[in-house]
Amino acid sequence: MSIFPLCYFAPSAWYAAALNVAEINIEIAEHYSKQQYTNRMWIKTTNGSLPLIVPVQRTGERKAIRDKRISYESLWQKNHWKSLETAYRSSPYFEYYEDKFVPFYEKKYDFLLDFNSEIQATCLQILQIETPVRLIEIYEKPGFYENDFRQSFDATLESQPKWFSPVPYTQVFEGFLAGISVFDVICNEGPHGRDILKRSFVM
């Protein structure tokens, strides 16, 4: 069995792994932790990498990821979409998929789980990944799963998983930045992103 973390527009390495397993099991029972991909994505801009972070409600107590609520005290949806438009409007596939992504920045979701799950379903559909997805509501310690990807992704972009050897593709701005959000792959490569991601998995 394989286990994955819940992510906001997960890094490309997440989808590379998802293309090479028999089942995508998503961990939602573990306690929410700050500075993880649960509410963070990285995009490429003219100034380099940029994190987009979904604010969550602070309750003063630790909550499981499935119970974490999104905060709307700031206009983060408007700001995130503006950043995505600025970075990817000139990419080959942005306008083609725009109508699929806009709703995520118009509708207000109560829970981070629902928001991330719908984004994930859309990305899997675009990349034609038909691997079954299941939410896991019982936390199991490391070592329980044959392929445990929960701690594989460095949300600071300082390192990539040892099994991820990213196949370069043309990005909007000069140079190639590895390991950022799958949003980048989709906007630049569209359905061809599936092959790029699959070949990037070397486990």
pTM: 0.95
Q: Is the pLDDT of residue 60 over 90?
A: no
Using CA atoms, how far residue 177 sits from 45, 84, 146, 169, 172, in Å, is 10, 16, 30, 9, 11
Q: What is the pLDDT of residue 36?
A: 92
**For residue 45, what pLDDT band results from cuts at 50, 70 and 90?**
very high
Q: Cα-atom radius of gyration of the chain, to the nearest Å?
A: 16
Supply 33's token pair: 């932790």
Q: Where are the domains of the chain?
A: 2-199
Residue 40 in contact with residue 155, Cβ under 8 Å? Answer: yes
Q: Which amino acid is it at 117?
A: S
